[in-house]
Copies of this chain bind each other. A is one copy, B any other.
Amino acid sequence: MKKALYKQIEEKIEERILANEYGSRNRLPSEYELAEEFAVSRLTIRKALQQLIDKKMLYRRENAGLYVMSKPKIVSGKGGLHSFSEVAKKQGKSVHTRVLDFQEIPYQQEIWEELEAAEEEKILHITRIRSLENEPMTIEELWIRRKYLPEKLSTTLFTQSIFQLIEQKIKLAYSHQEIEGRVANKKEADLLKIKENSAILHVHSITYGVTGVPILVDSSFYRADKYKFQTTYIRNGEEK
């Protein structure tokens, strides 16, 4: 498929911004001028510009022009939903996964409710230890609705990225996470090879597919001395 016009224009304007052709914190040409320059309709220009605004490359002043953000690109790429292995890969670090256990489990109200599953639905419980550069980082406990996993399961399957496993069946859309602090008990400390009473981070999350159905629950313990979480919060312009 040929690339959409607005996408091409978006990229060209992005290049110009990065090459500092418009300067920092300066005005861009008006939408009318840009439309003429690229010989497209204004709507197409607007769509390209909107993408760049979403990326925080540009900002608008109401009825008064478009400006270049003073630190273009600072946000890009952050804040997205990525799995442990995807983050590691991006940083060029090696991941090792040890599967402690996986099995279908009997009905448990709390989990089934979080996953909006009927009582008779099958849910798989998985426990894994995940290491970065051969250092244990996190104890993961996952509950996944059986129907979103392949027919055939094996231990090797779960040494990989669960996200990518699931996305063969259904695309993931978003995840609600809660981060808490705790100190490690004896068992957790042993598994993570840290001292008892060291700080750990407890992350509880529910991940949803594009249709809005819950797919999996994750309850993980990260060692706090080696791991931190990054987020970007966006201030909502208009609150209702």
Q: How many residues of A contact B (CB 8 A)?
A: 53
Is there an interface contact between B211 and A67, defined as CB atoms closer than 8 Å?
yes
Return chain B residues, CB-CB under 8 Å to A222.
181
Interface 9-residue window, one of A69-77, A105-113, A131-139, A145-153? A69-77
Contact pick for A79, options B82, B214, B233, B237, CB 8 Å: B233
Q: Which of A179, A183, A234 has the most CB of B within 10 A?
A: A179
Return chain B residues, CB-CB under 8 Å to A180.
201, 224, 228-229
* Interface status of A30 (Cβ within 8 A of chain B): no
23 contacts between A and B (CB under 8 A): A43-B43, A56-B174, A69-B212, A70-B211, A70-B212, A71-B213, A74-B176, A74-B208, A75-B176, A81-B234, A172-B235, A174-B232, A174-B234, A175-B235, A177-B233, A178-B229, A178-B230, A179-B229, A181-B200, A183-B198, A199-B199, A231-B231, A231-B233
CB 8 Å contact bits of A149-192 with B (1 = contact, 0 = none): 00000000000000000000001111111111111000000000
CB 8 Å contact bits of A77-114 with B (1 = contact, 0 = none): 01111100000000000000000000000000000000
